[in-house]
Structure 1
Amino acid sequence: MSDIILNVQQLHKDYVGEVNYKALKGIDFQLKRNEFVSVMGPSGSGKTTFLNCISTIDRPTNGSITINQKNPYELNDEDLAKFRRSELGFVFQDFNLVHTLTVEENILLPLTLDAVNAKEMTSRLAEVVEFLGIEEIMKKRTFEISGGQKQRVAIARAVIHQPSLLLADEPTGNLDSKAANSVMTLFQSIHETFQTSLLMVTHDPYVASFAERVIFMQDGMLYNEIQRGDHKKQFYQEIVDTLTFLGGGYHEL
């Protein structure tokens, strides 16, 4: 088995309209198995487009993406849907929960779609719910729980099918600092406990500092990357310094 779970080669994404726009301009990137990487950059740098192409939300104009040595864009619609459910987990800023379902039903949705048997569902649900500490809200509707709890539910739904790669787009964007810290501690625990590879877009240097590596984008290209090493405070400061150099104060990014 290759130690590279995600391989991106010469990735281009063009948007055609009244004004043509090149969002991605030839990106080469590799994510190792069980690696946690953050993606940062100024607004309009292409980081969300980059994540969307990897997640198969946006089809690249040119270039290749392989996940576990498979190119999802070579699959038919049915196989692509199965590939997403088996290989990928998604966590978004706005949670994307189904409001008509209970917390438990939201978490079980990926397994329901894959017709997993009831015994396996119960076992996986118990494991992920205990790990995330959300046992007491299982029967509640999503409008009855807090933003931090909603994100825990979204994380539970994203990992219950044990994906190879977890993708997160601004997962703390709608949370206060206490809830954001809690969610990022969970991400780190999931990464370490389940050996899940994790790729996360964020604008927040503190959130990014939970990763092992941060890549920076500018104008649709990779600009730079830094490794965490043993000193998280120093890593955080390097992130802030790089963002400041790229686009002024990092609060503007």
Structure 2
Amino acid sequence: MVLQVKNLSKIYLGKINYTALERIEFNLKKGEFVGVMGPSGSGKTTLLNCVSTIDEPSTGEVLVNGKNPHKLGEEELSKFRRSELGFVFQDFNLVNTLTVKENIILPLVLDNIGLEIIEERLNKISKLLGIKEILNKRTFEISGGQAQRIAIARALIHNPSLLLADEPTGNLDTKAAKDVMKIFTAINEELNTSILMVTHDPYIASFCNRVIFIKDGNLYNEIHKGDNKSIFYKKIIDMLSFLGGNIDDI
């Protein structure tokens, strides 16, 4: 298993303690593409933050390739994040003073990887994502859809075991969002990269192999794609409707 989440709870302490997650358990196999959905405030992002080590679980364990990153020291944790995890967020978080190429290879430069390996990986990932022709452009010269491709390329350049995505299409129009999801599918199928993605959009979730639903901090249900994407999409919508709330806010 690439990811094992065991009995995970997260409680925020204050005047009134707030339980964001309660005894969450699931596994993610090598090469799986899993979506996380649920109503607003259900704990989706908290779960992703605990997996990504941004947040510390109150109880339970997160294991990535059998190792618990929350038990590592600061230096070891930084190294672990760079080697095992890739991050793609709604905001592209690109460095405006760098070119597209410099943004993508930044993680490898920081790790003092040799130029030959950098060029080899850059060539492979830019070809897969269809961005070779914009490598020398500045970030202000590219579209939102291209910017998200750059962010994905940067997240993948070091061959992470697990790619974590939080609303990766949230700032994109319909066409750009569809293009980005086709890229996620290609990454998943061609590179066999394991992906855990939080989304509120049932269409975006329909690109996954499996969708986990969270409600009030609890693991509520999960559904698998099977062979028919249209049926899977309808099941996702039905489940979101069943969970309640305005579907646009879910």
Q: Does TM-score exceed 0.5, indicating one fold?
A: yes
> Which of 142, 145, 148 is residue 148 of structure 1 equivalent to?
145
Which moves more between the two structures, 198-207 or 132-141? Answer: 132-141
TM-score by length of 2: 0.98
1:120 and 2:117 aligned: yes
How far apart are residue 20 of structure 1 and its match? 2.0
Correspondence for 1:38 among 35, 38, 56? 35
Give 1:101 deviation, angstroms. 1.2
- 1:88 is matched with 85
Work out whether residues 37 and 211 of structure 2, in 8 Å CA contact, stay in contact via their aligned partners in 1.
yes
Contact 2:200 2:249 in 1 (8 A): no
The superposition leaves residues 48-99 of structure 1 with CA deviations (integer Å, 9 ceiling, x where unpaired) of 0000000001111111110001000111111110100110000000011111
Give the deviation of 1:17 after TM superposition.
2.5
SS in 2 for 1:104: helix
Q: Which runs of 5+ in 2 are unaligned?
A: none
Q: Distance between the aligned counterparts of 1:18 and 1:87, measured in 2?
A: 37
Report whether the alignment pairs 1:54 with 2:51. yes
Q: 2: CA distance between counterparts of 1:139 and 1:208?
A: 33
**How many angstroms apart in 2 are the aligned matches of 1:91 and 1:199?**
10
Letter in 2 for 1:226: I
Correspondence for 2:249 among 242, 249, 252: 252
User: How far, CA to CA, are the matches of 2:183 and 2:219 in structure 1?
Assistant: 28
Q: Residue type matched to 2:228 in 1?
A: H
Percent of pairs with identical residues: 63
Q: Which amino acid aligns with 1:47?
A: K
Distance 1:27 1:199 in 2: 15
SS of structure 2 residue aligned to 1:168:
strand
Between the aligned partners of 1:18 and 1:104, the Cα distance in structure 2 is 48
State the one-letter code of the partner of 1:138: L
**Equivalences for 1:211-250 in 2 at 5 Å?**
211-250=208-247
Query: Normalized against structure 1, the TM-score is what?
Result: 0.97
Shift of 1:131: 1.0
In the aligned structure 1, how far is the partner of 2:167 from the partner of 2:15?
A: 29
> In structure 1, what is the Cα distance between the partners aligned to 2:111 and 2:231?
44
Question: Mapping of 1:97-136 within 5 angstroms?
Answer: 97-136=94-133
**Alignment of 1:197 onto 2:182:** no
Q: By how many angstroms is 1:142 displaced?
A: 1.2
Contact 2:39 2:245 in 1 (8 A): no
Q: Counterpart amino acid of 1:213?
A: R
3-state SS in 2 of match to 1:25: strand
Which amino acid letter does the alignment assign opposite residue 184 of structure 2?
F
Q: Structure 1: which 5+ residue stretches go unaligned?
A: none
